[in-house]
């Protein structure tokens, strides 16, 4: 499942390397299987995944943290850790259930784009109560059955069935609304999705709205209007939000010097970065690092 690629003081990057029994970009396993394969120390470190991780809890409970948000997992809950997010396992030995690991090309691009466009801010956790009346459980059952078939016979049709079953599960999860909540805000303009994707790709070097506007062929005013329409934030605030998230990840989970973090995030010196960070968080990088570790 993993290949270690970063020094110990950095966020540990976990790459997708399924066993020979898996099918292409999809691996169906269990929490017990992950523990057996990884060993006792595999799930102790903070991790940044190069693939998506989907878990359903069948028994037990644990706290799982994804980008500074802790999710209390119990029976029936589903957790989706998306590629690029930083997460930390809780007491993995206390929980059991199926696990699906999949790479970026596990489902077709059109379905992937529709899933990404369905919510302004993608969701990580679904409580069991939210899933009671949904087709998610039957869809997961179909995926697990397809996974068993592929393990026995990795023919092309079986692999295609596994990919389609995964797509069905992800679509049904994406359509679930939390109980008692107002419907999630949906993107209404394709350009907002492009802008969001470009922020993810370029936030460490492009800090100004004009840079994204030039690349996308829209005016800065249009990007601001779309950003406010979808999130209530300006385009610049969305860029700043992503930069600050990465800064917090590095400060909280690594021992990288502040000056190096500043350089990674496109700041010409540590002083400018510290001023920027303090303006957006009301604290200094050093203070945030210290308090987050306490």
Report the CATH number that the domain containing residue 106 is assigned in CATH. Answer: 2.60.120.280
Region of poorest pLDDT, from 58-72, 146-160, 228-242: 146-160
Same domain, 20 and 150: yes
Confidence of residue 6 (pLDDT cuts 50, 70, 90): very low
**Percent of the chain whose pLDDT exceeds 90:** 67
* Rounded CA separation 146/165 (Å): 7
Confidence of residue 261 (pLDDT cuts 50, 70, 90): very high
How much is the average pLDDT of 32-47? 88
> Is residue 13 left, alpha or beta, with left meaning phi > 0 and alpha meaning psi from -120 to 50?
beta
| pLDDT at res. 153 | 67
Pairing of strands 62-66, 69-73: antiparallel
pLDDT tens for residues 142-167?
A: 999 988 876 666 678 888 889 999 99
How much is the average pLDDT of 16-40? 82
Confidence of residue 20 (pLDDT cuts 50, 70, 90): low
Same domain, 250 and 153: no
Same domain, 228 and 143: no
Expressed as residue numbers, the domain containing 21 is 12-175
Measuring CA to CA, which residue among 225, 223, 194 is closest to residue 209? 223
| pLDDT at res. 155 | 75
Classify residue 182: in a domain, yes or no. Answer: no
Same domain, 90 and 125: yes
Q: What is the mean pLDDT of the chain?
A: 88
Classify residue 196: in a domain, yes or no. Answer: yes
Classify residue 259: in a domain, yes or no. Answer: yes
Same domain, 46 and 131: yes
For residue 79, what are the β-bridge partners?
A: 55, 125
| pLDDT at res. 87 | 96
Classify residue 3: in a domain, yes or no. Answer: no
Tokens for 224? 């601001």
Classify residue 7: in a domain, yes or no. Answer: no
Confidence of residue 22 (pLDDT cuts 50, 70, 90): low
């Amino acid at each position: 499942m993993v290949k270690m690629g970063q020094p110990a003081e950095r966020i540990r990057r976990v790459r997708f390397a399924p066993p020979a029994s898996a099918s292409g970009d999809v691996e169906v396993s269990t929490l017990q299987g992950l523990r057996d394969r990884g060993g006792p120390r595999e799930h102790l470190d903070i991790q940044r995944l190069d693939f998506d991780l989907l878990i359903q809890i069948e028994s037990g409970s644990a706290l799982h943290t994804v980008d500074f948000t802790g999710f209390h997992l119990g029976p029936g809950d589903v957790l989706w850790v998306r590629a690029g997010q930083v997460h930390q396992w809780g007491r993995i030995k206390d929980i059991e259930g199926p696990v699906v690991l999949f790479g970026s090309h596990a489902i077709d691009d059109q379905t992937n784009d529709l899933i990404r466009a369905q919510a302004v801010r993608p969701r990580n956790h679904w409580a069991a109560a939210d899933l009671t009346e949904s087709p998610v459980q039957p869809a997961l059952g179909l995926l697990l059955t397809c996974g068993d078939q592929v393990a026995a016979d990795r023919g092309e049709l079986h692999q295609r069935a596994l990919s389609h079953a995964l797509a069905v599960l992800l679509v049904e999860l994406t359509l679930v609304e939390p109980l008692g909540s107002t419907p999630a805000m949906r993107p209404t303009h394709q350009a907002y999705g492009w802008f969001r994707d470009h922020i993810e790709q370029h936030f460490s070097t492009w800090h100004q709205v004009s840079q994204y506007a030039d690349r996308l062929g829209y005016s800065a005013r249009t990007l601001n209007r779309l950003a406010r329409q979808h999130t209530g934030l300006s385009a610049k605030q969305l860029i700043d939000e992503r930069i600050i998230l990465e800064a917090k990840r590095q400060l909280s989970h690594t021992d990288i010097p502040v000056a190096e973090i500043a350089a990674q995030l496109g700041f010409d010196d540590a002083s400018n970065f510290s001023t920027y960070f303090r303006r957006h968080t009301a604290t200094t990088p050093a203070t945030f690092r210290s308090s987050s570790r306490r």
